[in-house]
């Protein structure tokens, strides 16, 4: 049952219990809102292998009091690097330097663990599974969400609706009917987890290492419980059929440097995931629609090339909570839009550009790519890093409940 008594901060309904929706619910609770989360899945969980949490999102989680839990569950990485298929190092960034400059660590964590941290922070009773939102509306004095639940179609009123239903957002399509929707990035991603015993034998440093090939890339890093996460990007036609077997990847990456073939060979078939990558190529005109705020992939799905989709969703969550704590809705949502849209849309553009550069398949173009990345001055590499990580969450006082 969804409660009907009015809390001091107001009542929010969050649609979608992914990392973005749960982070928003935790942040809104912190500033005194009553929050109900509607999730269409019958059971809560995060599919997928791991997610990297960069300094910007680590600082946002710190603002929610969750950095210790993240540190306990994750592998704190000592850096980022890129290599050629033969293993020659092209670029590298030291995480100690990032921490000193930007005030946050670099982590790699199982998605289910991060999801669990957010769920625990939210407590019981806030998430309502088996409810598929079908539309959101905003009026002069309130907002509402229509949904299909266990008892059939229903609707719920709220002072604020947070749309966090992912890249294929049904609610965004209803609110912005002329928006063209997601685009295919031109590549598919395989992901897997290597069991701890095999990972220990292979030996993978606590670093996010990415290897650039021709029309393909491979990345790996430990996740904090002894297992190692890897991903492989491959150019592919939209909707192409793929042989879903680790053995096929083992032969495709057989001549890449150690530990790539060993990691693939040690991955059980049942740990193999594949997703075609979709993102919002066209910037959305607003993240606010009256009393409805869009957040995470629903607002600005970025390609995974800069590892920031979940990080930006967590940033959105703390900024949204700070804004609704400082001003009334809907004015607060206009401030949220102004704070979030320029940054997220600029990074979405940057991520797409980096992805196109890294997924080149022509021998000459990839040679130029690798040589120019290796010769680029450190200041250039650090500029991209600064654009992403040099972000600070609202002050802790902005994330405390108002009396
Ligand atoms: C291969 C890959 C690797 C990535 N790696 C990283 C990384 O290392 N670091 C990083 O920061 N990001 C990464 N990302 C991006 C990150 O996964 C996403 O940006 C992030 O998970 C988005 O979270 P979200 O909550 O906005 O959306 P989602 O995770 O998509 O959650 C949406 C939720 O809404 C629910 N839902 C959908 N429709 C409805 C409805 N109508 N009613 C109710 N509920 C609904 C869904 O069931 C789901 O639970 C990666 C993405 C990919 C594909």
CATH number of residue 151's parent domain: 3.50.50.60
> Atom 35, ligand 1: which residue's CA is nearest?
16
Q: How many domains does the chain have?
A: 1
The DSSP code sequence of 87-141 is --EEEEEEHHHHHHHHS---EEEEHHHHHHHHHHHH-TTSEE-S-EEEEEEE-SS
Please indicate, yes or no, if residue 71 is contained in any of the structural domains: yes
Please indicate, yes or no, if residue 289 is contained in any of the structural domains: yes
pLDDT per position in the chain (403 positions), as tens? 344 444 557 999 999 999 999 999 999 999 999 999 999 999 887 777 899 999 999 999 999 999 999 999 999 999 999 999 999 999 899 999 999 999 999 999 999 999 999 999 999 999 999 999 999 999 988 999 999 999 999 999 999 999 999 999 999 999 999 999 999 999 999 999 999 999 999 999 999 999 999 999 999 999 999 999 999 999 999 888 888 899 999 999 999 999 999 999 999 999 899 999 999 999 999 999 999 999 999 999 999 999 999 999 999 999 999 999 999 999 999 999 999 999 999 999 999 999 999 999 999 999 999 888 888 877 777 787 888 999 999 987 888 776 5
Which pTM does this prediction carry? 0.95
| CB neighbour list of residue 241: distance below 8 Å, 6 or more residues apart | none
- How many other β-carbons are positioned within 10 Å of the β-carbon of residue 289? 23
Please indicate, yes or no, if residue 68 is contained in any of the structural domains: yes
> Atom 15, ligand 1: which residue's CA is nearest?
309
Residue 194: in which H helix or E strand, if any? Answer: strand 183-194
Range of the domain at 60: 11-76+109-181+281-358
Of 118, 159, 88, 158, the residue nearest 21 (C-alpha): 118
Report whether 132 contacts 145 (CB < 8 A): no
Distance 310 CA to ligand 1 centre (A): 7
Given the CA of residue 297, which atom of ligand 1 is nearest to it?
Answer: 26
Please indicate, yes or no, if residue 132 is contained in any of the structural domains: yes
Please indicate, yes or no, if residue 162 is contained in any of the structural domains: yes
Cα dihedral 73→70→206→21 (10° resolution): 100
- Token pair for residue 313? 């969703």
Distance 201 CA to ligand 1 centre (A): 32
Please indicate, yes or no, if residue 299 is contained in any of the structural domains: yes
Q: Is 294 helix (H, G, I), strand (E, B) or coil?
A: strand
Pocket test residue of 287, 297, 308, 316 for ligand 1, highest count of atoms within 8 A of CB: 297
| Residues lining ligand 1, Cβ inside 6 A | 15-21, 38-41, 51-52, 132-133, 164-166, 170, 189, 191, 231, 275, 277, 296-298, 304, 307-311, 313
Given the CA of residue 301, which atom of ligand 1 is nearest to it?
Answer: 19
Distance 72 CA to ligand 1 centre (A): 23
> Atom 20, ligand 1: which residue's CA is nearest?
310
Please indicate, yes or no, if residue 389 is contained in any of the structural domains: no
Report whether 315 contacts 388 (CB < 8 A): no
Please indicate, yes or no, if residue 153 is contained in any of the structural domains: yes
- Token pair for residue 393? 């969450």
């Amino acid at each position: 049952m969804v409660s009907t008594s009015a809390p001091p901060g107001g009542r929010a309904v969050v649609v979608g219990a992914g990392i973005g929706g749960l982070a928003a619910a935790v942040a809104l609770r912190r500033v005194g809102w009553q929050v109900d989360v509607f999730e269409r899945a019958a059971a809560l969980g995060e599919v997928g292998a791991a997610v990297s949490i960069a300094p910007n999102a680590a600082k946002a989680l710190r603002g929610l009091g969750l950095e210790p839990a993240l540190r306990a569950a994750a592998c704190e990485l000592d850096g980022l690097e890129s290599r050629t298929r033969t293993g020659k190092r092209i670029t590298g960034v030291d995480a100690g330097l990032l921490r000193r400059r930007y005030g946050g660590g670099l982590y790699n964590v199982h998605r289910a663990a991060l999801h669990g941290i957010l769920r625990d922070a939210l407590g019981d009773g806030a998430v309502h599974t088996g409810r598929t939102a079908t539309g959101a509306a905003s009026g002069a004095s309130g907002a509402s969400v229509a949904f299909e639940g266990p008892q059939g179609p229903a609707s719920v009123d709220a002072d604020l609706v947070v749309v966090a239903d992912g890249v294929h957002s049904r609610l965004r399509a209803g609110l912005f009917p002329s928006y063209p929707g997601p685009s295919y990035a031109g590549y598919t991603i395989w992901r897997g987890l290597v069991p701890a015993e095999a990972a220990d034998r292979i030996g993978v440093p606590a670093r996010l290492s990415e290897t650039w090939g021709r029309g393909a890339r491979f990345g790996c890093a430990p996740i904090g419980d002894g297992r190692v996460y890897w991903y492989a990007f491959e150019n592919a036609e939209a909707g192409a059929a793929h042989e879903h077997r680790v053995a096929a990847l083992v032969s495709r990456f057989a001549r890449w440097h150690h530990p790539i073939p060993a990691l693939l060979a040690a991955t059980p078939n049942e740990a193999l995931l594949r997703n075609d990558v979709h993102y919002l190529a066209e910037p959305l005109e607003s993240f606010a629609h009256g009393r409805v705020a869009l957040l995470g992939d629903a607002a600005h799905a970025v390609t995974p090339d800069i590892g920031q989709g979940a990080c930006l969703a967590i940033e959105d969550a703390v900024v949204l909570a700070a804004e609704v704590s400082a001003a009334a809705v809907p004015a607060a949502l206009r401030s949220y839009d102004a704070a979030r849209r320029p940054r997220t849309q600029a990074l979405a553009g940057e991520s797409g550009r980096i992805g196109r550069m890294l997924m080149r398949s022509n021998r000459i173009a990839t040679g130029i790519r690798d040589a120019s990345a290796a010769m680029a001055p450190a200041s250039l590499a650090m500029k991209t890093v600064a654009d992403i990580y040099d972000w600070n969450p609202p002050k802790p006082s902005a994330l405390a409940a108002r009396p």
